[in-house]
Amino acid sequence: MTKEMFTLKSSDGFLFVVDEAVVHQSVTLSPMVQDCAGREYPINNVTGKILNLVVEYCKNHVVVDGGDSSSSSSSGDALKKWDDEFITQMDLSTVYDLIMAANYLIIKGLFDLACQRVADEIAACKDHEEIRATLGIVSDYTAEEEAEVLKENEWAFD
Amino acid sequence: MALNFSRRHFSSHLSDESMKIANGYGDSASVDILDVLPSDPFGMDINNTFTAITGWLEDLEVDCSRYGRDEIWVGDGSHQLFAGLSFIWNNAMRFQEFPERNVYTNGAFLSTSSVDEVGESSGRCTTNENAQVHPAFGFCLYRLGVKDLLSASMVCKSLHTTVCDDLLLWKHIHICQPLSEKITDEALLQLTERAQGTMQCLRLVDCSRITDDSLKQILERNPQVVKLGVSGCTRITIDGVLSILRDLNSAGKPQVKQLEIGGIFGVTKDHYDELFGLLDVDNNVEQSIPKPRFYHRGDSSCVSCDDDDRVLDIEMCPKCQNARLVYDCPAEDCKGKEECRACSLCIQRCFQCGRCINDSEYEETFCLEFLCADCSKQSPKLPLEVENSI
């Protein structure tokens, strides 16, 4: 049985040819399986760089999800390890773009993985100043406003 | 640091309590705890005095080293999917297809029907004047524990607005270490107000400062709560909990589907029976066999509320017939055996793995806990809480 291939086109014109199993991982793209075989499907919100990562994630998850239903825990562990390496190697700005793409394409696993990466970065920060440094945010509080907010939350920090 | 602080706090809390209970026994700081404790401070069965004290120490014990990341419960993946799905099915939200400016959506996926709509999302979104905060960050807030949310709110004004105004962030509130002993009635009320009446889960673990009155006030303002946990909250009483449930029920049909009160003292059979009457137990649906519960120091904090679908965490102990948390035994010889199901006062258990300590070799720690031979061998030099530092 020949696999049907689909062409995804990123906002900056890159083309990705993927099979049905990859497309099905996106709730947004699943319906196009009936309509768009052989045609290019434009994904206007996602750049080539990010779409490449999305496709890589989906391809990797097809291999395991397509296996037998009683998949061994070792393959589950291997996939988890792959996921960890996949998401950890990226810088935060790429992770943010991946979150937006996974949200638009509705790919739950990728969305959760990327959001959790950011959450882990925040949780590792010991205070709000470290969060600012990690996220590259400059405070727009005045000294009085900051003192007020610190006072509001002082019960939690000491 | 926090560990040392909590250890200091623990002993000062203890000395305050023992001062009150013991009616001025003198300088508690220099007196052995066991000498100061009265025989039956919490109306427990006098026959179990010594083991009751052990149980009390267990319940009040703090293990900060385990709790660093447990707050993440407040926004775990299934909660977010639930939030996402509920918005898709209810079509309650319309989302901007892709943010032109930095607008937070509420963590739900775009509804496929809304892909073509370029509409404003509902009032929950915050227009972000601060272009440094990426809109994707808004989705990540749902995965942060309460302490991290509060830290995030201090980063910049737009995050502060989001953290304070987004109802979804406060629908599930889980307070565990390191906030447990710090959170006051006032602070908890302030946090729960942010849900604006939509709070569904409130789980307090070892929150020793929270009182019956404030819990009552919180539940009055958030009558949609379906899961309530007050494990180890020593100032919450069983009568307080019953009063809250009665009030919720008199307002309408029973709402609370799950209740955690392990560690609340003085729960009698009558209380236990009344609790079942007040909880929303669907008698037509066969209750699934709950997962086995294994004893572990600090167990109530580590279990996510999504893992356990029991209506009530406590049950009548098969051995002593008291209403307490009942544990199964993970030991190979005991698996599935009814004889090894009992509360922690009836069957001593290893605090690491939960297996029963019978005639087998064991080690008793300074905190009057037991370690089985296997666990003792694996960590020959147990890192005591006071030695761990953050």
B109 touching chain A per CB within 8 A: yes
A-chain residue closest to B78, CA distance: A112
Q: What is the pLDDT of residues B108-160, one digit of tens each?
A: 454 333 333 333 333 334 444 556 788 899 999 999 999 999 999 999 999 99
Per-residue confidence (pLDDT) for residue B59, from 0 to 100: 54
B-chain residue closest to A139, CA distance: B156
Please judge whether B112 and A103 are an interchain contact, meaning their C-beta atoms are less than 8 angstroms apart. Answer: no
Task: Collect all residues of chain B within an 8 Å Cβ-Cβ radius of residue A97.
Answer: 136
Q: Band of the pLDDT at B162, cuts 50, 70, 90?
A: very high
3 state SS of B143: helix
Q: What is the DSSP letter of B110?
A: P
The predicted complex's ipTM stands at: 0.87
Q: What is the DSSP string of B20-70?
A: HHHT--S-GGGS-HHHHS-S-TT---GGGHHHHHHHHHHHH---GGG-TTG
Task: Collect all residues of chain B within an 8 Å Cβ-Cβ radius of residue A112.
Answer: 77, 80
Please judge whether A111 and B139 are an interchain contact, meaning their C-beta atoms are less than 8 angstroms apart. Answer: yes
Please judge whether A146 and B183 are an interchain contact, meaning their C-beta atoms are less than 8 angstroms apart. Answer: no
Task: Collect all residues of chain B within an 8 Å Cβ-Cβ radius of residue A156.
Answer: 146-147, 150, 179, 182-183, 187
Alpha helices in B33-181 (DSSP H): 33-36, 49-60, 77-90, 135-140, 146-153, 157-165
Q: What is the pLDDT of residues B339-369, one digit of tens each?
A: 888 888 888 888 888 888 877 788 888 888 8
For residue B187, the distance in angstroms to the closest alpha carbon of chain A comes to 7
Q: Band of the pLDDT at B374, cuts 50, 70, 90?
A: confident
pTM of this structure: 0.69
CB B340 within 8 A of CB B356: yes
Rg of chain B, C-alpha, whole Å:
23
User: Which range among A60-74, A92-106, B81-95, B124-138 shows the weakest confidence by mean pLDDT?
Assistant: B81-95
Tally DSSP H helices, then E strands, for chain B: 13, 10
User: Which range among A80-89, B98-107, B296-305 shows the weakest confidence by mean pLDDT?
Assistant: B98-107
HSE (side-chain half, CA atoms, 13 Å) at A85: 7
User: What element of type H or E holds A147?
Assistant: helix A143-152
CA distance A104 to A153: 35
Interface of B with A in 65-84 (CB under 8 A): 69, 72, 75, 77, 80-81
Q: What is the pLDDT of residues B279-318, one digit of tens each?
A: 877 665 656 677 888 888 765 544 454 566 788 888 889 8
Task: Collect all residues of chain A within an 8 Å Cβ-Cβ radius of residue B139.
Answer: 99, 103, 111, 115
For chain B, give the mean pLDDT: 72
CB B123 within 8 A of CB B102: no
Q: Band of the pLDDT at A47, cuts 50, 70, 90?
A: very high
Task: Collect all residues of chain B within an 8 Å Cβ-Cβ radius of residue A145.
Answer: 157
Strand ranges in chain A using DSSP code E only, listed in sequence order: 5-9, 15-19, 40-42
Per-residue confidence (pLDDT) for residue A16, from 0 to 100: 93
pLDDT above 50: residue B78: no
